[in-house]
Amino acid sequence: MTSVPTRVKTTLSFRTIGAVYVWLVIVVLFSVWAPDTFPTAITVKQVLNGNAVAGLVALSVVPPLAARVFDLSVAYTMSLTSVLTAHFVVSTGLGPFTAIALAMAAALLVGVVNALVVVVLRVDSFIATLATGALIQSLITMVTNDSSITGVQLLAKPFASLAQLDVGGITLPVLYLLLAALAIWFVLEHTATGRRLYATGFNADAARLQGVRTDRLRFVTLVTSAVLSGFAGVVFASSVGSGSPTAGSPYLLSAYAAAFVGATQLRAGRFNAWGTVIAVLLLGTGITGLGLATSAQWAASLFTGSVLIVALVLTGGRIALPTVLRRRAGKPPAPAQPEGSTDDESRAVPAGGTRA
């Protein structure tokens, strides 16, 4: 049994929470770069409120990735629910709750279609969800003619309150983000379903031989992903007061960047909820800092892409590093864990192990 100092040292090590230390460096950097605007309470609220929707989209890709499945349609699903909610409220006169229910039903349908194509028809998830996204975009264009849907109904309560109501300057989407993260964390870390999900992502064949219903798990993760990204679209429409046909497009890269950075935090090599939230806030802090420092418009995309590349390098390097060090020290490699084991190390996703 490890001692308390050892556990504390492990918990606070760079290997465990490296993104937190990078986050602190970013805070210090921008506090020096923009001392009049960045280190303020307003900036803290801006980072939290401005990245809550991005966090919801990022969390939506965590369950599929944990099962080694890509869902590239999340951005399109978000755009779909955004425009459908606005369309039902403005053009058909439906009440906001009915409009939200119909939009979420559409998101659920998208998830079921994705799951049928990927799980039942055995189409590669990367290609399948990208194709589904193209179909969704065509539907969005048909409904909106590529124009945002606006109306005073979207600015009135109770629809506007869904995202604009705040407590102490912190808006409700931040609460939605925390609740979604809590639910995903509980399922992945404290239920048998979560252990089976990680086993599926680590080695689907071994998990299947042990009786894990891998196809059912992948089916459920794709449906969950669509529903959560669809909810993000509804929250987005409420926050901006309109339905945008391109609402989800800017969130796709940042969602996967956050998920992969999150996989290097807290639960080494495993996609997890709280690591993803940390990554979202890290990325949001950097982008907000660049905006306050009046940097070039392309700097935000450069920052996000660079963080994603570094995260992918760390994800592979962190897992391979112990073996490399043992070989250099002349020590025999650690005994391999049985495939499909639920041990922490055996459940780690190997470098490149997130391929669909």
Higher pLDDT, 253 or 59: 59
Which is nearest to 230 in space by CA: 52, 354, 106?
106
| pLDDT, tens digit (0-9, with 9 covering 90-100), for 64-97 | 999 999 999 999 999 999 999 999 999 888 899 9
Which is nearest to 255 in space by CA: 50, 60, 45?
60
Cα angle, residue 173 at apex, residues 169 and 178 outer, rounded to 5°: 105
Residue 346: band (very low, low, confident or very high) from pLDDT cuts 50, 70, 90 = very low
Torsion of CA 44, 48, 54, 56, to 10 degrees: 160
**Beta carbons of 129 and 71 less than 8 angstroms apart:** yes
| pLDDT, tens digit (0-9, with 9 covering 90-100), for 296-336 | 778 878 887 887 777 667 655 544 444 444 454 555 544 44
**Sequence letter at residue 156:** A
**Beta carbons of 270 and 278 less than 8 angstroms apart:** no
- As a whole number, mean pLDDT of residues 148-174 equals 92
Q: Which residues contact 99 (CB under 8 A, 6 or more apart)?
A: 84, 85, 88, 89, 92
Range list of β-strands (E), 106-225 = 149-150, 166-167, 170-171
Q: What pTM was estimated for this model as a whole?
A: 0.85
> What is the DSSP-derived secondary structure letter of residue 334?
P
Rounded Cα distance between 206 and 291, Å, is 48
Which is nearest to 87 in space by CA: 72, 99, 77?
99
> What is the DSSP-derived secondary structure letter of residue 332?
P
Residue 296 confidence (pLDDT): 76
Q: Which residues contact 257 (CB under 8 A, 6 or more apart)?
A: 279, 283, 304, 305, 307, 308, 311
Rounded Cα distance between 148 and 46, Å, is 24
With 50 as the cut, is the pLDDT of residue 104 above it? yes
Share of the chain above pLDDT 70, in %: 87
